[in-house]
Chain A
């Protein structure tokens, strides 16, 4: 079955960087964009950006421009999200999500999602 498995929880100090991985299985990794979404404690979902695993092309939300880098390793069907210059308000659960696209029907959606990775930023 289609599955996304993320790396484990991280604790980082302010100013440090974190790199979260998302390993895909059950489908052709390069055929679907991968998105990253985060959720601060008790808050809603915040879209961060996407990576095209085929080309490596990326598109980031303006809020994260300059601090986020999304990469992939197609040989192991894994996407990565690195966030630098961490602050306390970056404490959140970070999710990867595969985007399914049906161009002819003008349909696209996120499914499935990874299980989430808690990143805690604390001195």
Chain B
């Protein structure tokens, strides 16, 4: 199986901060990398697909980059509604896997 490792596991940030979350795959996955946001008690929501494509309706402050094994999710200016947990997921292998998640908390 392809292992996905996110860092950090959690972070504290203030409204307006620029936030960066990284995701590393245990082998090359080309651009088969998606990012999801999950709020407490809710199902995950797709933010970014194919490493850098913004899902329709998602604010432009979210962006994704990377290919191969190293990927990044960036929130350019953190808003109150962005405090949540973020997961990366590889869709290269027929056996899908998720990162362990990054919890973004209010400083």
Which residues of A approach B to under 8 Å, CB–CB? 35, 37, 44-47, 50, 59, 61-62, 95, 97, 99, 105-116
How far is B98's CA from A46's CA once the two chains are assembled, in angstroms? 7
Other 10 A-B pairs with CB < 8 A, given A44-B87, A105-B50, A115-B43: A44-B99, A45-B38, A45-B87, A47-B89, A47-B98, A62-B95, A108-B91, A109-B46, A109-B50, A113-B45
Task: Enumerate chain A residues within 8 angstroms of B32, measured Cβ to Cβ.
Answer: 106-108
Residues from 21 to 79 in B contacting A, C-beta threshold 8 Å: 30-32, 34, 36, 38, 43-46, 49-50, 53, 55
Q: What 3 pairs across the A-B complex have the smallest Cβ distances? A: A113-B43, A109-B49, A107-B50
B7 at the interface (CB under 8 A from A): no
Task: Enumerate chain A residues within 8 angstroms of B55, measured Cβ to Cβ.
Answer: 109, 111
Task: Enumerate chain A residues within 8 angstroms of B45, measured Cβ to Cβ.
Answer: 113
Shortest C-beta distance, A28 to chain B (Å), equals 20
Q: Mark B72-97, 1 if CB is under 8 A from A, else 0.
A: 00000000000000010101001111
**Contact, CB under 8 Å: B96 / A113:** no
B100 at the interface (CB under 8 A from A): yes
**Which of B1, B34, B43, B98 is A116 in contact with, Cβ under 8 Å?**
B43
Sort chain B's interface into a size bin.
20 to 34
**Which of A45, A97, A106 is B31 in contact with, Cβ under 8 Å?**
A106
> CB-nearest residue of chain A relative to B44?
A113
Task: Enumerate chain B residues within 8 angstroms of A44, measured Cβ to Cβ.
Answer: 87, 98-101
> CB-nearest residue of chain A relative to B98?
A45
**Contact, CB under 8 Å: B44 / A45:** yes
How far is B54's CA from A107's CA once the two chains are assembled, in angstroms? 12
Task: Enumerate chain B residues within 8 angstroms of A115, measured Cβ to Cβ.
Answer: 43
Task: Enumerate chain A residues within 8 angstroms of B101, measured Cβ to Cβ.
Answer: 44-45
> CB-nearest residue of chain A relative to B100?
A44
**Contact, CB under 8 Å: B91 / A35:** no
